[in-house]
Amino acid sequence: MCSDDEVIRVDRVSKGYPIYRGTPDRLKQMIYPRLRRLFRRSKRYHDNTFWALKDVSLTVCRGETVGIIGRNGAGKSTLLEIISGTATPTAGTVMINGRVAALLELGAGFNPEFSGRENLYLYATIMGLFPAMIAERYDAMVEFADIRDFIDQPVKSYSTGMVLRLAFAVIAHVDADILIVDEALAVGDIYFAQKCRRFFDDFKQRGTLLFVSHDMSLVHALCDRTIWLDHGKARAVGSVKNVSMQYLEAYYKERACTEALPERELKKEEAMCADDRTASHFSVRSDDQWIEENKIVLSPFDPSASSFGEGGATIYDAGFCNALNRSISWLLGSEKVTFFVRVTIQKAMQSPAIGFVIKNRNGRIVYDLSSYFPLEKKGVSFLRGDAIQARFHYRMPVLARGEYLISVAIAEGDAFDHQQLHWMHDVIKMTVMSGPFMQGDLWVMEPEIELVWEKQ
């Protein structure tokens, strides 16, 4: 398939762990294999061996991104440990061609008594960097981790999210050819999760990525191919679409809609399994229930958020406001809202475009609006020194429970050929307190969009 560019080859790998009924079994296992080797007899495995992996084969080509999916206990982490060299296979072979950086068990390789700085040097050394190289990249690592105020504190005082930040910052700066990650983004806050997602997008341009995830939206967004493990065996290897369809079909067959569930969950399952998929189960909610289940709490605009652009315009504020143009701290899914973006103009320009995107935890865009097309029709001009405000009036989608981030941007040009003047990542966090049961991220009740421009 890619014989000239193979970077990982797993050939019929198995991993077994003996399960002992008592001390006599342990003694037998210590003595019998040695006797069999002495008399040159073939190895015989313990009768109660648990096979975490059984005859798994996989080839990964240079530049590919491969996701590993499966239920808990399917052997995903074991496979990554064997590929990264932290575990040895019971049978089979593994070939690696390139420098590997792995983020497996959270905190592995860290000494809890050491400070963050000391563990950074220790972990980077384990990853193959020399002291001079670590010193040269130290500031970049600490900036990526964003824990500079705590870098000299012992790691045992860190939260799991801080440990993740430190570990990921190291593997992001070791110039690895192959990056192996085991469900790392399941912990940590949404801001760091999206920073990691942007790093993955950049790393894919130059390296090979292999990772485990239970989040199918992340697998679809990142992966070229997927392997599905089930009870230690490879059930399917192939395109993300085909393998994920097989995996979800098997999952829902096992989790039949008729299984015993608590009353609240049973109602959700009945809604999911109903023949009439278009029937709305929101209409039976009372107003109080609707507010409770759809309240979206908003964080203030973050002026220090990371950004990029060619210059010529600067975004200095954004958020949601009421009819009096005053910022609000919460809103509801399905209600009519106004989102504003305030900009100062540093050069004369014709019909700039302002827009925003709402992204879920994994960086996937779930909703976006832009002023491209209305402005192209109006031909609005702005002069240097103008302070302008774009106001989007629309109906807020109903969002699934979770955290979302809003990024804002202003560009010059048309919808197909434009130059980003100022793009600000993750300036506002939206926390949906308890969204309704949905298969996707959002539900658009009825699109109502109106764009209003104001000179201030």
Q: In this structure, are residues 199 and 141 in contact, taking their beta carbons and an 8 Å threshold?
A: no
**H-run or E-run covering 406:** strand 402-413
pLDDT of res. 450:
61
Q: With both helix axes pointing from N to C terminus, report the angle between 131-145 and 116-126 in degrees, rounded to the nearest 10.
A: 120
State residue 382's pLDDT score.
Answer: 87
C-alpha distance across the termini of the chain, in Å: 61
Rounded distance, CA 180 to CA 118, Å? 23
Per-residue pLDDT of the chain (456 residues; tens, 9 = 90+): 565 688 999 999 999 887 766 666 666 666 666 666 676 666 555 557 788 999 999 999 999 999 999 888 899 989 999 998 888 999 999 999 988 888 887 666 788 899 999 999 998 998 888 999 999 999 999 998 888 889 999 999 988 888 888 988 888 898 889 999 887 666 667 778 888 888 888 888 889 999 888 877 778 878 889 999 999 999 999 988 888 878 877 775 665 443 444 544 434 444 433 333 333 333 333 455 555 566 889 999 999 998 888 899 999 999 998 777 788 888 888 788 899 999 999 999 887 889 999 988 777 788 888 887 554 445 678 889 999 999 898 888 888 888 899 999 999 877 667 788 999 999 999 998 765 555 556 565 555 556 667 777
User: What is residue 109's DSSP assignment?
Assistant: T
Beta pairing partners, 93: 11
Report the DSSP pairing between strands 178-182 and 100-103: parallel
Q: Give the pLDDT score at 364.
A: 78
Quick one: pLDDT at residue 439?
52
Domains annotated on the chain, with CATH: 1-98+210-255 (3.40.50.300), 293-455 (2.70.50.60)
C-beta of residue 174 within 8 angstroms of C-beta of residue 124: yes
Q: How many residues does the chain have?
A: 456
Q: Which residue's structure tokens are 């563990």?
A: 119
Q: What is the pLDDT of residue 279?
A: 30
Would you state the pLDDT for residue 444? 56
Q: Which residues pair with 423 in a beta bridge?
A: 308, 409
For the question of whether the overall pTM of this predicted structure is more than 0.85, the answer is no
pLDDT of residue 403: 87
Q: In what order do the strands lie in the sheet with 336-345?
A: 313-321, 336-345, 387-395, 449-455
pLDDT computed for residue 440 by the predictor: 57
Are 363 and 426 spatial neighbours (Cβ–Cβ below 8 Å)? no
The DSSP symbol for 150 reads G
pLDDT at 378: 56
Tokens 């009096």, residue located: 324
Alpha helix segments (H runs only) across 255-337: 263-273, 287-294
Determine the distance from the C-alpha atom of residue 156 to the mean position of all C-alpha atoms in its chain, rounded to a whole number: 26
